[in-house]
Structure 1
Amino acid sequence: MATSSPPDPGTDRSAGPDSLPKWKQILQDLPAYTPGQHLTGDAAAKFRDRVTRSYGAGGTVRGIVAETGRSYGVVQRTLSQAQVLRPPGCPLSDRSKRKGRSVRRLDGENRQHFVARVIRERVNDGTYPPGTRIPSGVTLAKELDVSQFTVHMAVKTLKTQRVLMGSRAYTLGTLVRRSVPPS
């Protein structure tokens, strides 16, 4: 007796276009690309419009390349000319916004100074009261979209500036000093 396995979701054609992410739906009715083909006129305008809208809807350059069959350079140049290309390393969505905070780096601000500034501001405004533990390096790194090492170095700087102190018991983490020097 043969047992039938459930169909692979990637090959199921009955799922319909609603199961695709929005950015892929936008690219669906583009004509197939054949190597060496150069787009002109309306076809080029349609390609630019669809790629730009797809990118704005959450698509990535690599994802659009895979869907359209065009080269990475062509897709990137198209987005760059439309002036919608996000800078490298810029997240698709700001993680700090999701947490209800609007924390942004100042222009030209070093990441380590940014983390130190945010922690110092939170100590000064009472978010981290004196004597309490600050969040772990992992938590701060995710929230501020920096590496754990950057958080570690910023905390180390704040300890030398006597804003924070290490607890005597290793497991208690980093504490806010009872008397914080003025910034």
Structure 2
Amino acid sequence: MSQSPTSKPDPALLDAIPEIPRNKRLRGKEAEEFWARAVKAYDGGHPIRAICTRSGRAYGVVHRNLLVREVVFRSPGGYRGNGTARKQPSNGGPRHPGTHERGKAG
């Protein structure tokens, strides 16, 4: 269950993620609990970078483990406090009109 784009993430979800000492490997139950909390925090609206900062894990490690756990990733930009969302092209065409015609013989 993910947050709507206009609601703020619950700080308690991020606080539940433990800080992991550098170069420590997570195994077994400890790893499963950690990644379950990370998934819950991401689904709750926190960005991957916030999870990295809180836990001490690298961005690639967090991203890869969320991917393995089949998390549905949000589009870049995430939460916007002013309630506006990024607009996508409505027609499915190119983002920059006219660029698809370059290179055509006239």
Tell me the TM-score range normalised by the shorter chain.
0.5 to 0.7
8 Å Cα contact 1:62/1:72 also seen in 2: yes
Higher relative contact order (CA 8 A, sep 6+): 2
The amino acid of 1:62's aligned partner reads R
Alignment match of 2:19 (pick from 32, 51, 62): 32
- Supply the AA of the counterpart residue of 2:55: T
- Contact 1:33-1:70 within 8 A present in 2 as well: yes
For residues 58-88 of structure 1, the C-alpha deviation after alignment (integer angstroms, 9 at most, x for no partner) is: 1111111111111111111111212325366
Unpaired runs of 5+ residues, structure 2, are 1-7, 100-106
- Give the whole-Å Cα distance in 2 for the aligned partners of 1:96 and 1:72: 23
Q: Give the conservation status (yes or no) of the 8 Å contact 1:26–1:53.
A: yes
With structure 1 as the length reference, what TM-score do the two structures score? 0.39
Q: Which residue matches 2:85?
A: 95
Alpha-carbon separation, structure 2, partners of 1:29 and 1:87: 21
> Do the aligned residues in 2 keep the contact of 1:96 with 1:103 (CA within 8 Å)?
no
Per-residue deviation, 1:32: 3.1
RMSD of the TM alignment (CA)? Answer: 3.2
Q: Give the match's secondary structure for 2:25.
A: coil
The structure 2 residue matched to 1:68, chosen from 55, 58, 79, is: 55
Q: Which residue is equivalent to 1:48?
A: 35
Counterparts of 2:86 and 2:60 in 1: how far apart (Å)?
Answer: 31
Aligned-residue offset at 1:29: 3.2
Q: Are 2:14 and 2:54, in contact at CA under 8 Å, matched by a contact in 1?
A: yes
Superposition pairs of residues 131-150 of structure 1, within 5 angstroms: none
Whether the 8 Å contact between 1:105 and 1:111 is mirrored in structure 2 is: no
CA distance in 1, matches of 2:26, 2:33: 10
Whole-angstrom CA distance in 1 between matches of 2:39 and 2:27: 17
Return closer, same or farther for 1:28/1:86 CA change in 2, 3 Å cut-off. Answer: same
Aligned pairs, number: 88
The amino acid across from 2:85 in the alignment is R
Measured at CA, do residues 27 and 95 of structure 1 come closer, stay the same or move farther in structure 2, by a change above 3 Å?
Answer: closer
2: distance between equivalents of 1:41 and 1:104?
45
Give the TM-score normalised by structure 2. Answer: 0.62
* Contiguous gaps of at least 5 residues in structure 1: 1-19, 114-152, 155-183
In 2, Cα distance between equivalents of 1:75 and 1:52: 9
